[in-house]
């Protein structure tokens, strides 16, 4: 494929290792950085919203990454985020909002049929019940592309970081295909450039570019998603509870209220009780800081995204660790 043919290349950027590898791969392919945009979907709602499911530091991490590489970063989100969608009671699904290159914010939707959800997404490959991926990510990006005039008559490439190694279902994903927003008005293609990579290749490109990865990996997580991802393992739930007990307890209280747990076989409290806190997380809680973690476990990430020349790049302790997800 000829990457020079595209007017805009959108990287769906979570801040995790795979989306980071996609961005770096584009640079190594010689793509003009001025064509690249990083898009991050804010799970908990508008910028600066109180964290409910996601890592408090992720928003700021993405901002620092974009600043380090001098590429634009645009946030998009569903009105009220995860929590509002979960608590809908005879209400329509919230509108989608997105940031524009001129600094304004636009929106679409929010006037659909009224209905009730009142439940967490369930651990399932079916997006109808695992609604967080569809409502807070996939549909949000589609709305932002479909409703921006700047993409009409243009050729746009959407880049995402799914890898075949992650699961049997993802192994069947197409590496290249038409994006769901592709139509007669706009050409939009979808490319998964690292679909055939193994995790070793992902960490190798990150090392080549001396990237200071997201704090989750330094705390022992092998995968960046929401901090309290519904697919989280016992150890991840225990570690999340150790770091932010109030966040995890709020989730447990909603399980009580709904009379329905995220996992059909046990509650969040039972997951926490059965798990073991990751050793790096224990060290962080014991000492309050760390050479690679600093003071950014809340909402501010102060470290520069590129390692200082005097600091040797190191593989974070979460690498090759638990990769629980929709796999």
Domain map (residue ranges) of the chain: 3-200
Give the per-residue pLDDT at 306.
Answer: 60
CB atoms within 10 A of CB 66: 20
Exposed e or buried b per residue across 215-244, where buried means at least 16 C-beta atoms within 10 angstroms of its C-beta: bbbbbbbbbbbbbbbbbbbbbbbbbbbbbb
Task: Report whether 19 contacts 214 (CB < 8 A).
Answer: no
Q: Which class does domain 3-200 fall in?
A: alpha beta
Give whole-number Cα distances, 248 to 230, 239, 267, in Å.
12, 10, 11
CA–CA distance, 75 with 46 (Å, rounded to integer): 8
Low-confidence ranges of the chain (pLDDT < 50): 291-292, 294-296, 310
E-assigned strand segments in the chain: 8-12, 36-42, 73-78, 96-99, 105-108, 155-159, 176-178, 187-191
Give the per-residue pLDDT at 26.
Answer: 98
- Grouping H, G, I as helix, E, B as strand and the rest as coil, residue 229 is coil
Give the per-residue pLDDT at 288.
Answer: 66
CA–CA distance, 283 with 136 (Å, rounded to integer): 33
Instruction: List CB contacts of 14: < 8 A, sequence separation 6 or more.
Output: 40, 58, 161, 224, 225
Which helix (H) or strand (E) segment holds residue 160: the answer is none
pLDDT in tens, 198-247: 999 999 999 999 998 999 999 999 999 999 999 999 999 999 999 999 99
């Amino acid at each position: 494929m000829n990457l020079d043919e595209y007017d805009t290349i959108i990287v769906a950027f979570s801040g995790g290792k795979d989306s980071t590898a996609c961005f770096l791969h584009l640079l190594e392919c010689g793509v003009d950085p001025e064509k690249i945009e990083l898009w991050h979907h804010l799970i908990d709602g508008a910028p600066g919203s109180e964290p409910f499911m996601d890592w408090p530091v992720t928003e700021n991490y993405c901002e620092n990454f974009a600043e380090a590489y001098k590429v634009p970063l645009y946030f998009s989100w569903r009105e009220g985020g995860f929590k509002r969608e979960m608590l809908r009671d005879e209400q329509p699904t919230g509108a989608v909002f997105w940031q524009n290159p001129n600094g304004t914010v636009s929106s679409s939707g929010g006037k659909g049929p009224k209905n009730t959800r009142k439940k967490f997404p369930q651990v399932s490959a079916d997006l109808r019940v695992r609604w967080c991926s569809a409502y807070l990510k996939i549909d949000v990006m589609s709305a932002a592309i479909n409703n921006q005039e700047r993409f009409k008559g243009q050729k746009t490439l959407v880049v995402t970081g799914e890898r075949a190694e992650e699961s049997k279902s993802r192994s069947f994903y197409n590496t290249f295909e038409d994006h769901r927003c592709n139509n007669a008005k706009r050409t939009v293609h979808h490319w998964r450039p690292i679909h055939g990579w193994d995790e070793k290749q992902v960490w190798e490109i990150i090392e080549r570019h001396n990237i200071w990865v997201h704090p989750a990996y330094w705390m022992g997580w092998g995968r960046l998603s929401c901090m309290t991802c519904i697919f989280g393992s016992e150890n991840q739930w225990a570690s999340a509870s150790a770091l932010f007990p109030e966040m995890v307890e709020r989730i447990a209280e909603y399980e009580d209220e709904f009379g329905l747990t995220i996992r059909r076989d046990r509650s969040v409290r039972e997951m926490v009780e059965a798990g073991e806190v990751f050793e790096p997380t224990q060290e962080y809680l014991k000492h309050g800081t760390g050479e690679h973690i600093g003071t950014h476990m809340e909402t501010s990430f102060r470290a520069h995204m590129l390692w200082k020349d005097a600091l040797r790049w190191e593989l974070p302790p979460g690498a090759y660790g638990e990769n629980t997800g929709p796999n």
